[in-house]
């Protein structure tokens, strides 16, 4: 019998990167201390500020909401923001679970849709892309529109931060993707607090699970009976470039536990150097919607993307 490193009872989870073996109670304690450490070490949440959580209904964002509500419900107001991209039999089902969780945990939530906000759904965008592959990938549209809408709603709600469910795996994948794309500007925007720096236009995005591996999130959600959508994947997921990075990184992690942490440590060491690159980024107003953008173009990415599919 494998024993818990802390109490000697039967271990219920083995974490090869430690290595650590934990019973359920000691794993939960270990997991929550690490998330609290991430929050305090990176100064993610200020006492009293209103925090939005981007809630998709999946395990990462549901766990983030559960944890922030557990840690901060007495000192901060937590609001969930749900975005419906218009992907039937996927997001509608995931958001149903998200709404159930909010009701169960007594958390206020706001739900917005691409259809109402942009006058187009991801299914309609996908149909346009199917006819013209030069338009780009479905996910590149979805990501731009989601980030914009999340920021807009959080600003309207006067939130000081937007928490997302990004975990260690997501961050390690993003670091490598930006290196492979030779994109130091995007690389510089990564981190526990993400984005293009302090401006009144952008609500900073924070990642409480930044130092937490995905497998640990799955175990924590299961041990705490956090209901999350886990059935069908998004029908467009196969298009995401990230998939290749995910599967290769998982292979490295299996052969050499701790690889994902090492990639994150490398990035943390590089971040001060990258900050100089980030300061060079010039921001300007989009000629169409007047929102602040870091793009070199006259228009922001949202206007550029919508122009392609709303001709």
Which spans of this chain sit near ligand SF4 (rule: CB under 6 A)? 85, 122, 138-139, 142-143, 234, 236-237, 240
Sheet containing strand 51-54, strands side by side: 108-113, 78-84, 51-54, 161-163, 205-206, 193-194
> What is the spatial distance between Cα 23 and Cα 29, in angstroms, rounded to a whole number?
10
**How far is it, in rounded angstroms, from Cα 168 to Cα 166?**
7
CA angle 204, 165, 304 (to 5 degrees): 60
Nearest distance from residue 8's CB to ligand SF4, in Å? 43
CB of 100 to ligand SF4, least distance (A): 20
Cα separation of 66 and 106, whole Å? 11
- Nearest distance from C-beta of residue 84 to ligand SF4, angstroms: 11
Rama region for 8: left / alpha / beta (φ>0; ψ in -120 to 50; rest)? left
- The H-or-E segment that residue 292 falls in is strand 292-293
Nearer to ligand SF4, 234 or 286 (CB): 234
From the CB of 147, what's the least distance to ligand SF4, in Å? 10
> Comparing C-alpha atoms, which of 74, 46, 76, 44 is closest to residue 163?
44
Instruction: Rank residues 56 and 293 by Cβ distance to ligand SF4 and give the closer one.
Output: 56
Least distance from ligand SF4 to the Cβ atom of residue 160, Å:
26
The residue (of 139 and 153) whose beta carbon lies closer to ligand SF4 is 139
Smallest gap from residue 90 Cβ to ligand SF4 (A):
7
What is the nearest approach in angstroms of ligand SF4 to the Cβ of residue 49?
28
Considering the complex, state which of residue 66 and residue 229 has its C-beta at the smaller distance from ligand SF4: 229
Nearer to ligand SF4, 45 or 126 (CB): 126
**What is the distance in angstroms between the CA of the first residue and the CA of the last residue of the chain?**
64
- Total H helices, total E strands in the chain: 12, 10
Q: Which is nearer to ligand SF4, 181 or 254 (CB)?
A: 181
Distances 192 to 19, 35, 135, 197, 201 between C-alpha atoms, Å: 24, 11, 31, 12, 19
Q: How far apart are CA 70 and CA 33, in angstroms?
A: 13
Q: Indicate the residue among 15 and 240 with the shorter CB distance to ligand SF4.
A: 240
């Amino acid at each position: 019998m494998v024993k818990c490193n802390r109490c000697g009872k039967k271990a219920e989870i083995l974490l090869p990167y430690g290595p650590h073996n934990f019973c359920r109670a000691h794993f939960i304690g270990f997991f929550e201390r690490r998330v609290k450490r991430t929050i305090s070490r990176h100064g993610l949440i200020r006492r009293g500020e209103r925090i939005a959580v981007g809630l998709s209904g999946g395990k990462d964002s549901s766990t983030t909401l559960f944890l922030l509500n557990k840690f901060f419900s007495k000192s901060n107001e937590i609001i969930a923001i749900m975005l419906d991209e218009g992907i039937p039999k996927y997001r509608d089902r995931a958001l149903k679970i998200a709404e159930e969780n909010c009701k169960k945990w007594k958390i206020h939530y706001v739900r917005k849709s691409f259809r109402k906000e942009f006058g187009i759904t991801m299914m309609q965008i996908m149909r346009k892309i199917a006819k013209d592959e030069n338009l780009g990938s479905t996910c590149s549209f979805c990501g731009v529109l989601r980030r914009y809408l999340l920021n807009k709603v959080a600003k309207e709600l006067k939130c000081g931060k937007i928490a997302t469910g990004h975990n260690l795996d997501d961050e390690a994948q993003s670091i490598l993707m930006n290196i492979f794309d030779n994109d130091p500007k995007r690389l510089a925007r990564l981190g526990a607090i993400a984005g293009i720096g302090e401006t009144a236009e952008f609500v900073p995005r924070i990642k409480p699970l930044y130092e937490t591996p995905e497998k640990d999130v799955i175990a924590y959600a299961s041990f705490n009976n956090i209901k999350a959508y886990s059935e069908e994947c998004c029908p467009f997921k196969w298009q995401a470039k990230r998939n290749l990075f995910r599967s290769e990184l998982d292979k490295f992690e299996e052969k050499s536990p701790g690889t994902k942490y090492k990639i994150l440590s490398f990035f943390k060491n590089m971040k001060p150097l990258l900050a100089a690159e980030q300061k060079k980024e010039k921001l300007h107003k989009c000629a169409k919607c007047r929102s602040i953008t870091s793009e070199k173009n006259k228009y922001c990415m949202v206007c550029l993307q919508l122009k392609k599919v709303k001709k």
